[in-house]
Structure 1
């Protein structure tokens, strides 16, 4: 999931092609449906992104009672309104009536706490949880920001690699070369500085052992002279999320697994490595969909369609992940240059799950 920030944004207002009383307010590359005439291009307003949970008072103020997602009807989710994808909420809450939104946008002020908006955290099934232990040296994964929110991470024409984003659960493995200690976690648990104790019933440990990932990490550490190696992959299958990719986590067979990143600590420095090259022939990796000069429209096009990892196009594609052809730092993000784009078909599917 992306980082939750509720910010003031400059709007670009576009015509809604299918509704006379509605318009589209564009924020970055996101578009949210708004009432016609409520805003003009150049106006500033508050933008509340998807996966936000709103307090009841704000829901009532915005006239959204009973119209949001989740069991409590309090979660912002992408919807199609008169055929157009609407992502997030554009509004001017009373709590911000005295706020200079133009200045707030320039300063990047986050209004989440002031408005009582929190990030939705999905429940975790028993097979994906377990006993935990402190893991301060676990190599963590990162929250990948959305291209639509940060369209300037890549320059037009910059060489990039686009891979398919699979809808499973992120599995983190860290090997400590000196001791041979292996730590395994999920993204959500790992973000708390915790690892899952080994348990043959646990989804992540089942995948790690079935695919020989600790042994592979040890070989990589030895080859690179690394003190720690992290291998990051997606565990998937029926019972993990609603999109199963023809695999299952409920049988004696191992769940599906595809690696998407490798990191290593070498001489005290963290390096992100070329996962497809390092793992070729050793471990399944996520499909590469395209390699070439960056073009935002092309990336958004690739985010749509059917999955490719099975070769059978079983169901909708979640989206894509974009990396530079050569790993680099992003001054826009303040970290790795990496973004995702999520397909509209995936966002508006019925019965979706989002376990971490």
Structure 2
């Protein structure tokens, strides 16, 4: 697979073609880490095709050429979807290879002029802070985690990995910089510290701090302790985590809308370097910082990751499905395709649920 980009439309081989268990005129097959339902007898094992993942925006000229316009989603009927056909999930769209020179693994998104659908941006999470050249250069955006069902060859079979539950909330980061202060932000922006009812910067006990999506974790004593402890020996400490609850996304994890927020940490960076997961876990345990649940430690396989991505959330208080899992090696490493090795596997149950349709994103 070529180097990561915003959208991957890969050339693929169809694998594991077999009869659909509930439909005589349909087959099912594997396309990378996804299952697809296809017309019976149209394709053979190993056929080379172009795969348009779900949420690809397909230009009209190609939708018309492939005869799929009526099957696309969205108000403009241009978005590749996901669906269950006779009880079997089907993700994405396959189409004929257009050039003989295309090889399996090539990303041909530009050839088709495709774009990636992005869910609506949340606009109620606080104002972006103005750029500060004494602060912002130290604050790194969190890793843009790629899709493990597309990047199927990043992990080797039986490589030791750790899988944590992927929470459906919003990404936040807490920053402490020696001799400068504390900060908070979303995935790509630093966020202004809220003002209290007196018009001055809120303190950790002020309700304005506790209700602010990105500054809320600074009200948690254990988080403060961990950050202060690490800042004694590191110039820049960044704790990354997920803020969740009914006020953030449709999966509430037992916190109804308007009834507060929850927080779980999932990564730590010190002086520009991510901490190995086991060390991160020990630090969180020592300071009683709540972490995302660990679901699995052991050898990687695609089948295992698929199974782990579905099921009930293991967060205390949750009574709903999980969004998926995030998987990383036991030791931090990088690879040519995606940079830092860490992948997400979104659950089939979640992908086909009403919660997926209500997705929002933050900046």
Indicate the TM-score class for this superposition, using the shorter chain for normalisation.
0.7 to 0.9
Corresponding residue number in structure 2 for 1:321: 326
Deviation at 1:315, TM superposition (A): 0.5
TM-score for the superposition, normalised by structure 2? 0.82
Q: 1:335 to 1:195 in 2, by over 3 A?
A: same
Q: Is the 8 A contact 1:55 1:74 kept in 2?
A: yes
Corresponding residue number in structure 2 for 1:306: 312
Q: 1:2 to 1:24 in 2, by over 3 A?
A: farther
Deviation at 1:260, TM superposition (A): 0.7
Deviation at 1:14, TM superposition (A): 0.8
Deviation at 1:330, TM superposition (A): 3.4
The number of residues matched between the two structures is: 334
Q: Does 1:185 align with 2:170?
A: no
Structure 2 counterpart SS, 1:46 = strand
Corresponding residue number in structure 1 for 2:227: 217
Distance 2:33 2:51 in 1: 13
Q: Does 1:234 align with 2:242?
A: yes
Q: Is the 8 A contact 1:141 1:232 kept in 2?
A: yes
Deviation at 1:129, TM superposition (A): 5.0
Q: Is the 8 A contact 1:177 1:218 kept in 2?
A: no
Q: Is the 8 A contact 1:169 1:355 kept in 2?
A: no
Q: Does 1:14 align with 2:17?
A: yes
Q: Is the 8 A contact 2:120 2:360 kept in 1?
A: yes
Deviation at 1:246, TM superposition (A): 0.8
Q: How does 1:79-158 map to 2 (within 5 A)?
A: 79-92=83-96, 97=98, 99-100=99-100, 103-106=101-104, 108-134=105-131, 135-158=136-159
| Cα offsets for 1:308-332 (capped at 9, x unmatched) | 112x55001111112222223335x
Q: Is the 8 A contact 2:126 2:213 kept in 1?
A: no
Corresponding residue number in structure 1 for 2:216: 207
RMSD, aligned CA: 2.6
| Cα offsets for 1:16-43 (capped at 9, x unmatched) | 2222222234222222222223322222
Deviation at 1:131, TM superposition (A): 3.2
Q: Is the 8 A contact 1:167 1:236 kept in 2?
A: yes
Question: Which ranges in structure 1 are unaligned for 5 or more consecutive residues?
Answer: none
Distance 2:74 2:250 in 1: 16
Distance 2:178 2:74 in 1: 44
Q: How does 1:163-174 map to 2 (within 5 A)?
A: 163-174=164-175
Q: Is the 8 A contact 1:13 1:23 kept in 2?
A: no
Question: Which ranges in structure 2 are unaligned for 5 or more consecutive residues?
Answer: 195-207
Structure 2 counterpart SS, 1:345 = helix
Distance 1:3 1:75 in 2: 16
